[in-house]
Chains A and B, each alone.
Chain A
Amino acid sequence: QKEVEQNSGPLSVPEGAIASLNCTYSDRGSQSFFWYRQYSGKSPELIMFIYSNGDKEDGRFTAQLNKASQYVSLLIRDSQPSDSATYLCAVNIRGSNYKLTFGKGTLLTVNP
């Protein structure tokens, strides 16, 4: 069973704080890792992807990947109320024809 687990929410942070979202995956053949943001009633939108160990930064967002620990995280700096959404971690497994396996998501609320 290929599983993607995300830290249980909901997560609530004050505006301006750092929000930390975590994800673990079970399949060591996982190749690339994605963070999507989904607003209520909308489809997911890609925030960023990572496929090498280490950190990847894009504006206020930083993805961190540790393949040895099978762990990927997303940090959101200077959180804004508009960041309030469900964050989905998704994993692509090598040889799976680009299929993504999604975690259940973490609901983030940023309080003004």
Chain B
Amino acid sequence: GAVVSQHPSRVICKSGTSVKIECRSLDFQATTMFWYRQFPKQSLMLMATSNEGSKATYEQGVEKDKFLINHASLTLSTLTVTSAHPEDSSFYICSANDSGYEQFFGPGTRLTVL
């Protein structure tokens, strides 16, 4: 099956710093990538949808200036959490779609902001 990687798997940072998370499709070209956030004991909440070479589409309530998404190629999307604060601590998960029905999920990145 298709494989999606995320890096880093876990990050701890101080409040006010920026954190970049990479999402890569390893064996297929991802026409669309999605970024989700999941708080403890809650479901996945879609943050944004990104297509290669175009601006990301953010869901209502998600600050696009705080969560910067870049989809530079068909195999790489990055999420940068700018000026992170403790309330941004969460499990961030990306997924990629190859124009089929299925989304392939990355293993997730656990962000802890002190």
A contacts, CB < 8 Å to B: 32, 34, 36, 41-46, 49, 51, 88, 92, 97-105
Q: Which residues of B contact A101 (CB under 8 A)?
A: 46
Which B residue sits closest to A105, measured CB to CB? B43
A46-B102, A88-B43 given as contacts; is B97 within 8 A of A98 (CB)?
yes
Q: Which residues of A contact B46 (CB under 8 A)?
A: 99-102
CB distance from A60 to the nearest CB of B (A): 19
Q: Which residues of A contact B57 (CB under 8 A)?
A: 97
Q: Which residues of A contact B110 (CB under 8 A)?
A: 41
Q: Which residues of B contact A51 (CB under 8 A)?
A: 101
Q: Is the pair B34, A99 in contact by a Cβ cutoff of 8 Å?
A: yes
Q: Which residues of A contact B90 (CB under 8 A)?
A: none
Q: Is the pair A92, B101 in contact by a Cβ cutoff of 8 Å?
A: yes
Q: Which residues of B contact A98 (CB under 8 A)?
A: 32, 97, 99, 101, 103
Q: How many residues of B contact A (CB 8 A)?
A: 22
CA distance A48 to B26 in the complex (A): 22
CB distance from B97 to the nearest CB of A (A): 5
Q: Which residues of B contact A88 (CB under 8 A)?
A: 43-44
CA distance A101 to B60 in the complex (A): 14
Q: Which residues of A contact B42 (CB under 8 A)?
A: 104
Q: Which of B32, B93, B102 contacts A49 (CB 8 A)?
A: B102
Asked if B49 is an interface residue, CB under 8 A from chain A, the answer is: yes
List 18 additional A-B contacts (Cβ < 8 Å) besides A34-B102, A102-B46.
Answer: A36-B105, A43-B107, A43-B108, A49-B102, A51-B101, A88-B43, A88-B44, A92-B101, A98-B32, A98-B101, A99-B46, A100-B34, A102-B44, A102-B45, A103-B43, A104-B42, A104-B43, A105-B43
Q: Which residues of A contact B32 (CB under 8 A)?
A: 97-98
Q: Which residues of B contact A103 (CB under 8 A)?
A: 43
CB distance from B27 to the nearest CB of A (A): 16
Q: Is the pair A42, B103 in contact by a Cβ cutoff of 8 Å?
A: no
CB distance from B112 to the nearest CB of A (A): 13
